[in-house]
Structure 1
Amino acid sequence: MGDTLSKPVTDKHTSTFETTHLNVGCCGMQGWRKSMEDAHVAQLNLEGDRTQALFGVFDGHNGHLVAKYAGAHIVDTLVSTHAYGDKAYDAAFVETFEKLDSTLDANQELRNEGGCTAVSVLLTASQVICANAGDSRAVLCRNGTALPLSSDHKPSLAAEIARIEKAGGCVQNNRVNGTLALSRAIGDFEFKENTELPWDQQMITALPDITINEIGSGDSFIVLACDGVWDVLSNQQCCDAIKDGLQQTQGDVGLVCEMVLDRCLAKEAPGIGCDNMTIIIVVLKPAFFGSSTSS
């Protein structure tokens, strides 16, 4: 890659949060890239509910400003929707992604600043709701097994190709119009200029896929990360690394985040492991279930 440094920036920006119900670690590392374009959000005690929280990872491309904007505004945008108040969380996420996208489109200072993936997890007392647009990813560790909460949106997928071509684009070398290596994102408005089609049918769309899973006592943690992590580790490898790390560190979730990023960092560039990396680990504590969890 032409945008790699001679040596990686391995400084990590780590934060941890803990309530009676959750233990959360967040970590970002620039790595071999010349700039850091990721953003993330971790909002606990959402709307005053200690079992409700929102987490998100936003992987920027062609700049960091869209990712920063999405991370800064997703919580307020989500909770302000009528669907959220009605607990129609799937509809609330769709409306939220559309609002973030349309607001950026109307912002002359930001609309030409690239785009970002967005994977978000809303945690309630009984459910984990995931909304994803792009190739960042969320995974739930259930009884030690990785359960994917999202699917990557790549231009090579048949359904994505059909939408891209209908909107007037093409897929070349697994990239939209030969340039963008993902098929859904917030921003990237140069791919959203077909005035005959609605927002969710553009070449690049911000429309998220939504999954809803009931939470049980066998669920131990949720991990969200950008593709810089998933390019190196499979879902199961990542869950195994986190599980082992939590045991080794006696539950130091921030340190475990750093351990995962160190494991994913390439020893030399270019190649896999040279991207920006951001990870959030959400450990569900026994009090979350009202009884002990199994790992």
Structure 2
Amino acid sequence: MGAFLDKPKTVKHNSHGEGNGLHYGLSSMQGWRVEMEDAHSAVLGLPAPGMTDWSFFAVYDGHAGSRVANYCSKHLLEHIIRDSLVARGTQGFQAGSDSSTSDPSAPVPPRVEAVKAGIRTGFLRIDEHMRSFSEFRNGVDHSGSTAVGILLSPEHFFFINCGDSRAVLYRNSQVCFSTLDHKPCNPHERERIQNAGGSVIIQRVNGSLAVSRALGDYDYKCVDGKGPTEQLVSPEPEVFEVIRAPEEDQFVILACDGIWDVMSNEELCDYVKSRLEVSDDLERVCNEVVDTCMHKGSRDNMSVVLVSLPNAPKVSEEAVRKDAELNKYLELKVEEMLCRRGELFPDMVTVMRNLSTDSGMPPLPPAGGLASKRSVIEAVYSRLNPYREEDADCEKHDQSESLVGRK
């Protein structure tokens, strides 16, 4: 179920890009977990004939190790494109016809059903392929990974989900679509697990695994007489096709359960919308998401990909002004608390508690609350903390002891 560190690791991995009429940013952070098991993919322009105007994004949430998540982040897309061609014949993923095409030799965009079938085939084939790796075959590695992704064509969104990471589409300032989590307690998932001779105990497969679909996890995929989609844990993704509405679509969020554990679909989208009105730096917005979720109590690895579409919220001068005023208000309030003479220097818990009861507080970011402004508060606290040098020395001492212990 995972072990935790004494202090969270808050160094982030970031990336961003633009193309095919969209922008994206991503952020991933280890947080409180002893290992970073998340991975991600971001591809603008697919490496297949006639698909340079397609894009692919995905988040992989590993468990019991990072091997499966890391391998899938590098190779799942090529399996979807290449292996599905083999599985479905020479045309396969790109099977289609378009009588309006002026050049009969030009690559033909794939049909919707061919894309959905190709995605499914790609998942099954990469799962079969990884099973042959020596570390899985010999039982040395027991890792698995969820996968949530989106394949964007000029006309369609193809949402892909296998596990309990999640993707949402924000359209017309509301959540228009969300993938469905694959949990063992879901009736359809429970039925498959029981038919394979397993059970659901404390909402986990055989009392252990918290997801009912995943790549890897071969300990749960060895029931004789059952096909790959009939095992205790299935590698089969659900694929949902949504027609794009360019004048209405605003953004797509892909995130692991470390994000969704502390924010609902609506809360995260409202928060992201409010931050896009303050900054068009998508990496910064994603960093604020993972920091806010950690301060809201998430103890897991956290990864989020934000895909901004042409109709995304734009930076507003009024929103920027209000955000700056809120930051200034918080800074002054914290300074006031810390500079009171004759009182013991308060800890951060006390500072946050006092701020939470401040009736004169300007409006906080929706769904983010004080947690989303923790960095502003901590900056003032660190600057005015009379014990900060001593704390820093103690921290260095703790780190050196930790390093010695690892040698």
Aligned to 1:25: 25
Q: Indicate conservation of the 8 Å contact 1:66/1:116, yes or no.
A: yes
Residue identity opposite 2:28 in structure 1: G
Residue 290 (structure 1) aligns with: none
**Do structure 1's residue 278 and structure 2's residue 332 form an aligned pair?**
no
| Partner SS, residue 287 of structure 2 | helix
Q: Matches of residues 228-247 of structure 1 in structure 2 within 5 Å? A: 228-247=258-277
Aligned to 1:69: 71
- 1:181-200 equivalences under 5 Å are 181-200=210-229
| CA deviation string 1:33-63 (max 9, x = no partner) | 0110000000002237453101111000000
Aligned with residue 250 of structure 2, among 220, 239, 242: 220
In the aligned structure 2, how far is the partner of 1:255 from the partner of 1:96?
33
Residue 85 (structure 1) aligns with: 94
CA distance in 1, matches of 2:142, 2:201: 23
Hey, what's the Cα distance between the residues in 2 that align with 1:240 and 1:252?
A: 17
Alignment: residue pair count? 283
Where 2:225 maps in the other structure, the secondary structure is coil
Match of 2:344 in 1: none
Q: C-alpha displacement at 1:241, in angstroms?
A: 1.2
Q: For the pair shown, which has the larger CA radius of gyration, 1 or 2?
A: 2
> Structure 1 residues 200 and 2 mapped into 2: Cα distance closer, same or farther (>3 Å)?
closer
Deviation of residue 113 (structure 1)? 3.4
Which residue of 2 is the match for residue 176 of structure 1?
A: 205
Cα shift at 1:110: 3.9
**Can you give the 5+ residue segments of structure 2 that lack an aligned partner in the other structure?**
86-91, 96-109, 314-407
2:142–2:219 contact (8 Å) kept in structure 1: no
Q: Which runs of 4+ in 1 moved over 6 A?
A: none
Residue from 183, 196, 200 that aligns with 1:167: 196
Distance (Å, rounded) in 1 between the aligned partners of 2:61 and 2:222: 22
* TM-score, length basis structure 1: 0.92
| Range with bigger deviation, 77-86 or 233-242 | 77-86
Structure with the bigger percentage of strand = 1
Question: Aligned partners of 2:9, 2:167: CA distance in 1, in Å?
Answer: 25
**Match of 2:182, SS?**
coil
Shift of 1:85: 1.6
Go from structure 1 to structure 2 and tell me whether the alpha carbon gap of 1:61 and 1:2 turns closer, same or farther (over 3 Å shift).
closer
- The structure-2 alpha-carbon separation of the partners of 1:96 and 1:149, relative to structure 1 and needing over 3 Å to count, comes to farther
Cα distance change on mapping 1:20 and 1:51 into 2, 3 Å: closer
What is the Cα deviation at residue 259 of structure 1?
0.6
**Is 2:82 aligned against 1:57?**
no
- Name the Cα RMSD after superposition: 1.5
Structure-2 separation of matches of 1:43 and 1:20: 11
The 8 Å contact of residues 65 and 113 in structure 1, kept in 2 or not, is answered as no
CA contact (8 A) 1:192 1:203 kept: yes
Distance 1:2 1:163, change over 3 A: closer
Q: 1:234-254 deviations in whole A, cap 9, x for unaligned?
A: 1111111111111101x1111
The yes-or-no answer on 1:124 pairing with 2:153 is yes
Cα drift, residue 150 of structure 1: 1.1
TM-score (norm: length of structure 2): 0.67
**SS of the residue aligned with 1:146?**
strand
**More helix by proportion, 1 or 2?**
2
Query: Are the equivalent residues in 2 in contact too, given 1:266–1:274 (CA < 8 A)?
Result: no
Q: Secondary structure at the match of 1:265?
A: helix
Give per-residue Cα distances to partners, 1:220-265, cap 9 Å, x unaligned: 111100000011111111111111111101x111100001111100
Cα distance in structure 2, aligned partners of 1:210 and 1:144: 24
Aligned to 1:7: 7
Q: Does 1:103 align with 2:105?
A: no
Deviation at 1:157, TM superposition (A): 0.6
> What secondary structure is seen at the aligned counterpart in 1 of 2:234?
coil
Gaps of 5+ in 1: 286-292
Which structure 2 residues correspond to residues 196-207 of structure 1 after superposition, within 5 A? 196-207=225-236
Distance 1:243 1:274 in 2: 24
- More relative contact order in 1 or in 2 (CA 8 Å, sep 6+)? 1
CA distance in 2, matches of 1:10, 1:66: 23
C-alpha contact (below 8 Å) 2:68/2:145 kept by paired residues: yes
CA distance in 2, matches of 1:266, 1:247: 22
Amino acid at match of 1:252: D
Change (3 A) 1:197 1:226: same
Distance 2:25 2:312 in 1: 20
- Is the CA contact 1:65–1:110 (under 8 Å) kept in the aligned structure 2? no
The 1-side partners of 2:63 and 2:270 are apart by 29
SS in 2 for 1:46: coil
Equivalent residue number for residue 42 of structure 1: 42
In the alignment, the residues of structure 1 paired with residue 271 and residue 298 of structure 2 have an alpha-carbon distance, to the nearest angstrom, of 16
